[in-house]
């Protein structure tokens, strides 16, 4: 009797756990909640596997949360079927540089709206920057953000953590604790690490605790204030000249940080490269065997300083838009493999904040809902990148660099997590910020005609976006 009672208790506990999970899903998806385990069959698409560099017209069968089979002529009458003829079927896109502003500035963006913008753009995985209010600089704050994301995000959400306390550049954060809490990298987003001592310490701890060091080699008001401390008597003209020169010191920071990483034997990833000189420094470091990787954004490989003057505050970004020669160098760096990743640096601001003078406006533009279309239109179609190169730089490469490949992110093979993006390479569309899921409207590409768009986003075996519309009830 005791054994039978125990079995009944366990059975009831299992049923209750199943019901609670289903109830939680009903709260998200409504009364038309999909079953806990579903099947999805994506038929006759051109399937890309960046891990093996193979492409072929195949079917993809998804069962539950994982890819079950990839083959020709799969038949499964239980599966929901998606016709992917003429479409590209790729691993879910990965963006390792986004700002979702939560906590503290939810009026600009929050995890709820930002994750939906990601899904609309074909992204199944994002890695958020730590410069929230307050910043993600302690294990407790990191865990809290991840808990919010577990409830509010429709895509896989990961986060970086601050390199220094408060992102103030004075004292190191608890790098060991942050690594153990799940941080994917450490970064003082928006600010360079001001001293060699701090950077050397971060690199040594990054190597020890197995976490990627991701400095932002750009200048910032905080950095300028530190440099100008004690120069109150500097004349206004000299002050403006100093600021002008300081905002071109990206390459100097990159050279310093790579040299320190080389000595420490540590991995380092450089965000949003924007100068030809920076590309050259990174290329030389890779030849020497330094463990350095780098990323570029669509605005830095498409727009120049001339465009900035015409577009206005919606093109104000840091690092700033550069010369035409720098833009060409970024494109070439992507083509040559010197730059490993394409990332959006999605940085939303409210319209009121951007609708001011150029000097007063904050830095940042949005990009989650335009990045894929811009890459396909302006890198793949002109032949700057092959389609395989472009897909790799937006899937497998970022997943590997940020240690997400071990979680099944970035690949499309049987047994991996079912994160899939289906792309219509021929779909022509016009960028319209009023239709974005992001709260931000600060997009310099508004009105551009693009060709190529994500039409289906599958996260963990569940459709979250179909034909440009977020799927909130499992239909």
Q: Do residues 20 and 137 share a domain?
A: no
* 413 belongs to a structural domain: yes
Question: Which of 404, 420, 436 finishes a domain?
Answer: 420
Q: What is the pLDDT of residues 360-384, one digit of tens each?
A: 999 999 999 999 999 999 999 999 9
Whether residue 59 is contained in a domain is answered as no
Dihedral, 192, 146, 391, 366 alpha carbons, nearest 10? -60
Considering the domain architecture, whether residues 25 and 97 belong to the same structural domain is answered as no
Q: Do 25 and 169 sit in the same domain of this protein?
A: no
- Residues 5, 134 within the same domain: no
Catalytic residue among 110, 189, 345, 424: 345
Which range marks the domain in which residue 4 is found? 1-29
Q: Which of 377, 392, 420 is the last residue of a domain?
A: 420
In a domain, 403, yes or no: yes
| pLDDT, position 244 | 52
Of the pLDDT bands very low, low, confident and very high (cuts 50, 70, 90), residue 459 is very high
Indicate if 8 and 117 belong to the same structural domain. no
For residue 85, what are the contacts with CB-CB under 8 A and spacing of at least 6? Answer: 43, 44, 45
Identify whether 39 is part of a domain.
Answer: no
Q: For residue 63, tell me if it sits in a domain.
A: no
Q: Would you say the pTM of this structure is higher than 0.75?
A: yes
CATH number at residue 366: 3.20.20.140
327 in the same domain as 201:
yes
Count of structural domains, the chain: 2
Known active-site residue 336: no
- Range of lowest pLDDT (48-62, 70-84, 416-430): 48-62
Last residue of a domain, one of 420, 439, 458: 420
Q: For residue 472, is it within any domain?
A: no
The phi-psi region of residue 117 (left if phi > 0; otherwise alpha if psi is between -120 and 50; otherwise beta) is: alpha
Q: Check whether residue 18 and residue 124 sit in a common domain.
A: no
Query: Is 255 found in the same domain as 138?
Result: yes
Residue 379 in any domain: the answer is yes
Do 19 and 97 lie in a common domain? no
**Per-residue model confidence as pLDDT tens digits over 158-202:** 999 999 999 988 899 999 999 999 999 999 987 888 889 999 999
468 assigned to some structural domain: no
Work out the mean pLDDT of the chain and round it to a whole number: 88
């Amino acid at each position: 009797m005791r054994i039978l009672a125990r079995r009944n208790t366990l059975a009831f506990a299992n049923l209750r756990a199943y019901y609670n999970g289903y109830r939680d899903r009903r709260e998200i998806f409504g009364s038309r909640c999909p079953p806990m385990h579903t099947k999805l069959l994506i038929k006759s698409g051109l399937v890309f596997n960046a891990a093996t560099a193979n492409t072929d017209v195949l079917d993809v069968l998804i069962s539950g949360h994982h890819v079950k089979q990839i083959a020709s002529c799969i038949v499964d009458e239980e599966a929901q079927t998606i016709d992917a003829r003429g479409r590209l079927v790729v691993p879910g896109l990965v963006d390792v540089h986004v700002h979702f502003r939560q906590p503290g500035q939810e009026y600009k963006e929050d995890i709820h709206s930002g994750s939906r913008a990601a899904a609309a753009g074909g992204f199944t995985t994002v890695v958020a920057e730590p410069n929230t209010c307050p910043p993600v600089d302690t294990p407790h704050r990191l865990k809290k953000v991840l808990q919010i994301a577990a409830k509010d995000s429709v895509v896989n959400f990961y986060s970086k953590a601050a390199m220094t306390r408060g992102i103030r550049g004075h004292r190191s954060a608890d790098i060991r604790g942050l690594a153990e809490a799940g941080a994917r990298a450490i970064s003082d987003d928006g600010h360079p690490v001001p001293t060699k001592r701090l950077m050397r310490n971060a690199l040594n701890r990054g190597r020890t605790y197995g976490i990627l060091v991701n400095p932002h080699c750009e200048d910032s008001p905080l950095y300028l204030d530190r440099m100008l401390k004690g120069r109150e008597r500097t004349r206004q003209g000299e002050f403006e000249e100093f600021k002008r020169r300081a905002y071109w010191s990206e390459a100097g920071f990159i050279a310093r940080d790579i040299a320190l990483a080389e000595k420490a034997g540590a991995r380092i990833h450089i965000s949003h490269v924007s100068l030809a000189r920076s590309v050259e420094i990174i290329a030389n470091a890779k030849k020497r065997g330094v463990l350095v990787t780098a990323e570029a954004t669509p605005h830095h490989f498409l727009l120049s300083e001339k465009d900035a003057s015409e577009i206005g505050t919606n093109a104000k970004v840091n690092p700033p838009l550069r010369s035409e020669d720098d833009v060409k160098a970024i494109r070439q760096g992507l083509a040559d493999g010197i730059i490993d990743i394409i990332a959006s640096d999605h940085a939303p601001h409210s319209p009121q904040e951007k609708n001011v003078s150029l000097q007063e406006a904050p830095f940042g533009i949005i990009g989650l809902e335009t990045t894929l279309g811009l890459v396909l239109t302006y890198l793949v179609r002109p032949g700057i990148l092959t389609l395989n190169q472009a897909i790799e730089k937006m899937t497998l490469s970022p997943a590997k660099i940020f240690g997400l490949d071990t979680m099944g992110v970035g690949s499309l093979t049987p047994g991996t997590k079912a994160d899939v993006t289906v792309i219509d390479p021929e779909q022509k569309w016009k960028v319209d910020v009023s239709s974005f899921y992001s709260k931000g409207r600060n997009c310099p590409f508004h009105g551009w005609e693009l060709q190529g768009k994500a039409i289906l986003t599958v996260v963990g075996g569940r459709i979250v976006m179909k034909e440009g519309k977020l799927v909130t009830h499992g239909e």
